[in-house]
Amino acid sequence: MDQRSLQDTLSGLDTRGMSRRQLMSLAALAAGAVPLLSACGDNRKRQTAGPATSTGAVNADRPENKAYPYDEAEKLFKSLKWPSTNVPEPKSKVTVTMAITSDDNAQIRHMQFSKFFKELHPNIEIKREITPFADYLTKYMTQAAGGSLPDLMYIHYSWAQNFIKNKIVQPLDDLIAATPDFNKGDFTPTALSFFTRDGKLYAVPTDSAPKMLFYNKEMFAKANIPLPDKTWTWSKLQEVAKALTQGDGASKQFGFTPMPVPFGDLTTLYLLPYGGRFLSKDETTVEINSAAANDALKPWVDLQVNAKAVPSVADLQVVQKADVYRLKRAAMAVNGVWIIPAVLSLADQYKFDWGLTHLPSGPAGRFTPAVGSSFGMTAKAANKEAAWIVMNAFLSAAGHRFFMFTPPSRLSTFEANLQALKVDNQIIADSKEALQTYGTGDGVLTLPNTQKIIDTATPVWDRVRAGKQTLADGLKEIADKCAPVAKANAA
């Protein structure tokens, strides 16, 4: 399953009017969805998302590890211009609780931030609640049912509209208005759109990433095929994918991965370039049974069934759903810029010469989903002003630099954060161009029944991609079965 198809349990729930007992029951059901979420995987080495593990014994007065030496962290923190706000500082000691999901390195960075931040704001203590990503929603759904939530919360883009609708988070516009240097213009409209409702902003993005075309330079060189570039169309990619496919069994090299499947940004990546859609813009009707969608998907079915140039369901099971591209078994892949740190840190046996470029275009243009995560302030925040002072610093341009969000949602830090990874300038330029020019949220599914729609469509699509059902019959069946599920989004 694609990295961004994290349309998990909360995204499929409408908790309006539910009792605490009902919410507790739903939280228990959500726990059963954890294996699915873990299988999907986010695959991003970010400071605010990823598996949470123990940091072991850490000196609270001088938190550090090999990734984040204390002296370097302190020097960087003091070199940055931290923001101010007209929101008043607390006159007495307060504690701001912050729910995060992070890995060992990120936990150290958060500890360093809290220590240095307190030197600037001595009356504010930051208390972190660290939860594994797979357990995050279950935990906080349960807490919400009990009327207890932290002050600040990590929010994935696919959860945001449910958090907003169910009043888990509060609008930030008044606080932003009291912060002249906040600069909403430092974010793309798309990045903000996932966290906006009725003209109000409920969360501030941490990262915003386009999906791009990654490729293995070594495989192209061996086949004597020119590297992909911005002139490519999807038809060209499919043609080259066939030429780059070779071998069989465990050593087979695929031309491309992954096969398009019903997921959160199927429309944006593969259907919009041909003028098609999975669902309508308001996500209440199914539009996949159309000539445009058929035109977009037919070559992919041929690539799967006849050319066998993309991994099948069985192929993915063999590698336990790992990223075939990073296993050096696919010449090309569509993935988010957020995987760059993971590609750079591959084990020696998997390292290869790689590159990325713009996504191909179709007859109707070029599109890429530009999605990410955020932090919001809960409706239960005990000290709204102090929580904002923390949030404003954490998500400022200085905060984006200190935490090295990859890629950051603030455009002013985009180049610097990627340059720190020592990637080619062309990769940085192409990624930022994609984010600002054809990056979009159009077609990215965010409403409550997304996961139910995906679950309904997937078995049908699996029969199509296995050659057991025609594309025309499959698209019709998906449309018929998903129609009542999508219709419920209008409720």
Q: What is the DSSP string of 454-466?
A: HHHHHHHHHHHHT
The confidence score (pLDDT) of residue 287 equals: 98
**Close Cβ partners of 119 (under 8 Å, ≥ 6 residues apart):** none
Identify residue 268 by its one-letter amino acid code.
T
Looking at the structure, give the CATH architecture of the domain made up of residues 211-370+443-490.
3-Layer(aba) Sandwich (3.40)
pLDDT for the residue 27? 44
Nearest of 317, 26, 8, 27 to residue 133 by alpha carbon: 8
Q: Which of 249, 240, 246, 300 is nearest to 270 (CA)?
A: 300
The pTM assigned to this predicted structure is 0.87
| Residue 413 burial (10 A CB sphere; 0-12, 13-18, 19+) | buried
* Integer Cα distance of 104 and 258 in angstroms: 30
Tens of pLDDT along the chain (491 residues) come to: 233 333 333 333 334 344 444 344 334 334 333 322 322 333 333 333 333 344 457 898 899 999 899 999 999 999 999 999 999 999 999 999 999 987 778 889 999 999 999 999 999 999 999 999 889 988 987 888 888 899 999 999 988 998 998 899 999 999 999 999 999 999 999 999 999 999 999 999 999 999 999 999 999 999 999 999 999 999 999 999 999 999 998 889 999 999 999 999 999 999 999 999 999 999 999 999 999 999 999 999 999 999 999 999 999 999 988 899 999 999 999 999 999 999 999 999 999 999 999 999 999 999 999 999 999 999 989 999 999 999 999 999 999 999 999 999 999 999 999 999 999 999 999 999 999 999 999 999 998 888 899 999 999 999 999 999 999 999 999 999 999 999 998 87
Within a 10 A sphere around the Cβ of 22, how many other Cβ atoms? Answer: 12
C-beta of residue 355 within 8 angstroms of C-beta of residue 220: no
Look at residue 302 and give its three-state secondary structure: helix
For residue 356, the 8-state DSSP code is E
Is 9-208+372-409 assigned to CATH 3.40.50.300? no
The pLDDT of residue 449 = 87
Please give the structure tokens belonging to residue 257: 């991965």
Sign of CA dihedral 465, 466, 467, 473: negative
Q: Is 197 exposed, middle or buried (0-12, 13-18, 19+ CB in 10 A)?
A: middle
CATH 3.40.190.10 intervals, the chain: 9-208+372-409, 211-370+443-490
Q: What angle do CA 421, 426, 428 make, to 5 degrees?
A: 45
Query: For residue 240, what are the contacts with CB-CB under 8 A and spacing of at least 6?
Result: 225, 228, 255, 332
Question: In the structure, how many helices (H) and strands (E) does the chain have?
Answer: 20, 12
State both tokens at 143. 């807490």
Residue 191's nearest CA partner among 336, 367, 370, 7 is 370
Of 409, 392, 432, 4, nearest in space to 206 by CA: 409
E runs forming strands in 401-449:
439-440
pLDDT at 338 (0 to 100): 94
Q: What confidence tens digit (pLDDT) does each residue in 170-186 have?
A: 999 999 999 999 999 99
The predicted pLDDT at position 56 comes to: 58
- Judged by phi (left if over 0) then psi (alpha if -120 to 50, else beta), residue 126 lies in beta
